[in-house]
Structure 1
Amino acid sequence: MSANSRLTVAVHALAWVGLYQSRGFEVATSEQIADSANTNPVVIRRLLGQLRTADLVRSQRGSGAGWMLNRKLSGITLLDVYDAIESGPLFGMHRADPNPDCVVGAGIQPALGNVYGRLDRTLREELARTTVADVLSDTLSAH
């Protein structure tokens, strides 16, 4: 299994757009953002579409088409981004119900459900503590 990088790429895109706009540019293209993230512009457009639905960015069509922030980076938490692009629980249960006649099969989902619930709460608390502006600041100071 591979790690999900959608949150990372979405935060990268927001940080890039925020930096770009802070340098006096109004609209960023998905191609420019994709070049920075070293991914396909379609990936960026899909993620930005989800961020637009969450009202974190807006798009402009026609001449000068591209993407703009709807809020300052300091007003966007990683939890805002996570909620915009991720659906469903952090960890899932079995695809098919385990054997209820087995002692492990009968109790594994409630046991893991408790652990996963605590992990989800902890993840959400941590993501809420950090803004995209914090990430950009750390990124720029590391460079």
Structure 2
Amino acid sequence: MQITSKFTAAVHILTCIDIFGGQMRVTSDFLSGSTGVNAVIVRNVLGQLRTAGIVETRQGSGGAHLAKALDEITLYDIYKAVDCVDDEGLFHFHENPNADCPVGRNIHKAMDGRLEAAQAAFENELKSTTLAQVVSDTRKLIDEE
């Protein structure tokens, strides 16, 4: 299973909110232009981030604002906020391995623990990376242009 693009769009959106927030109103239309994602999807992602307590939004003239400090927001927080993966996790096992086949009977047992470990390692990496790090790297890259 693939993580939806809502995750990277959400990180992009939050980075824009921080970088442009002091200079202008950061609206869903502006964010749509930066991300290349339809404004309706941007509003949906902002709603999920608002529900998770990561952003504050005001309809009309307010725009979007971060509700927490950058170093208090991890990539894992964002990943969970935008529901990138269903309850089954990153990996979805094929439905009907043949129980009459010795491989089919045992492939789940051989793979399940490994897949759980891979997902845990991925999620731990997300937990160790803050939005502050992403924004800092983005600012450096902008300055190098």
Q: When the two structures are superposed, what TM-score results if normalisation uses the length of structure 2?
A: 0.86
Q: Which protein has greater RCO, CA pairs closer than 8 Å, 6+ apart? A: 2
3-state DSSP class of the match of 2:41?
A: helix
**Could you tell me how far 1:13 is from its partner in structure 2?**
0.3
Aligned partners of 1:90 and 1:120 also within 8 Å: yes
Aligned partners of 2:75 and 2:126 also within 8 Å: yes
Q: Distance in 2 between matches of 1:4 and 1:138?
A: 23
1:38-57 to structure 2, matched below 5 A, reads 38-57=36-55
Quick check: 1:111 aligned with 2:113? no
- State the superposition RMSD in angstroms: 1.9
Q: Assess, with a 3 A threshold, how the Cα gap between structure 1 residues 87 and 53 changes in structure 2: closer, same or farther.
A: farther
Deviation per residue, 1:103-135 (Å, 9 max, x gap): 111111222211111111111111111111110
Q: When the two structures are superposed, what TM-score results if normalisation uses the length of structure 1?
A: 0.87
Query: In the alignment, what sits opposite 1:134?
Result: 133
Query: In the alignment, what sits opposite 1:30?
Result: 28
Q: Distance in 2 between matches of 1:124 and 1:14?
A: 19
Q: How many residues are paired up?
A: 139
Aligned partners of 2:2 and 2:90 also within 8 Å: no
Query: In the alignment, what sits opposite 2:74?
Result: 77
Q: Which amino acid aligns with 1:6?
A: K
Unaligned ranges ≥5, structure 2: none
Q: Assess, with a 3 A threshold, how the Cα gap between structure 1 residues 49 and 64 changes in structure 2: closer, same or farther.
A: same
Aligned partners of 1:15 and 1:73 also within 8 Å: no
Unaligned ranges ≥5, structure 1: none
| Percent of paired sites with the same residue | 36
